[in-house]
Amino acid sequence: MSGYDVLLGIAGRMVGARYPDRREEIVETARAAGGDGSGWTRLAELASLVGLALQPGRTSASPRAVWLHGAFLAAVLVAITLLAPATPFVLAVPFVLLVLGLVDARLAAAATVFWLWRLATADLGDEIGALGDASVTAQLVRWVAMLIGIVIAAKVTRASIRRAASL
């Protein structure tokens, strides 16, 4: 059994929890589509299964579910940034998630959690030194920008959750 089959089984269980009567059909379709393609195709099929399993229903617009889904998406984004070099594309993804978060609160929650992770893993020694020297450095500006990003993303998430709950 390959690693792909193991991951497909896990994603299949997630889909089965949401669609118990159609689990086999959905997983077999993903297996057939991913079996003929490259690694990227398999990854896309796994991502589509997880996205289908985590798709919110009208009744699951609870803030806890939104934040958990956002945290899951942020964890995927963190993994990508750890594996890929810090390109402008990777750094722009949280901004795109925030804009799309106006429609889906989970995406805004993912941007919030991602920026919180970036802030928590930042080296604050330079920022504290800059405050002692009363000089503004690029690191201090970056840190303040991340704080502002977290506040904006949290507000967008909260507004989007309220809008989804009112539907």
Domain extent listing, the chain: 1-55, 59-167
Residue with tokens 């539907």: 167
The pLDDT value recorded for residue 1 is 64
pLDDT higher than 60, residue 145: yes
The pLDDT value recorded for residue 135 is 57
pLDDT higher than 60, residue 127: no
Residue 30: Cβ-neighbour burial (10 angstroms; 0-12, 13-18, 19+): buried
Distance from C-alpha of 72 to C-alpha of 29, rounded to nearest angstrom: 24
Cβ count near 65 (within 10 Å): 18
Distance from C-alpha of 30 to C-alpha of 4, rounded to nearest angstrom: 11
Q: Which two tokens stand for residue 113?
A: 């959690």
DSSP 67: H
Instruction: Quote the pTM value.
Output: 0.52
Contact 102/160 with Cβ under 8 angstroms?
yes
**Residue 136, helix vs strand vs coil:** coil
Indicate the residue type of 127: E
**Tens of pLDDT along 23-70?**
888 888 888 877 766 777 777 777 778 777 776 655 455 777 777 878
CB-based contacts of 154: which residues, under 8 Å, 6+ apart? Answer: 112
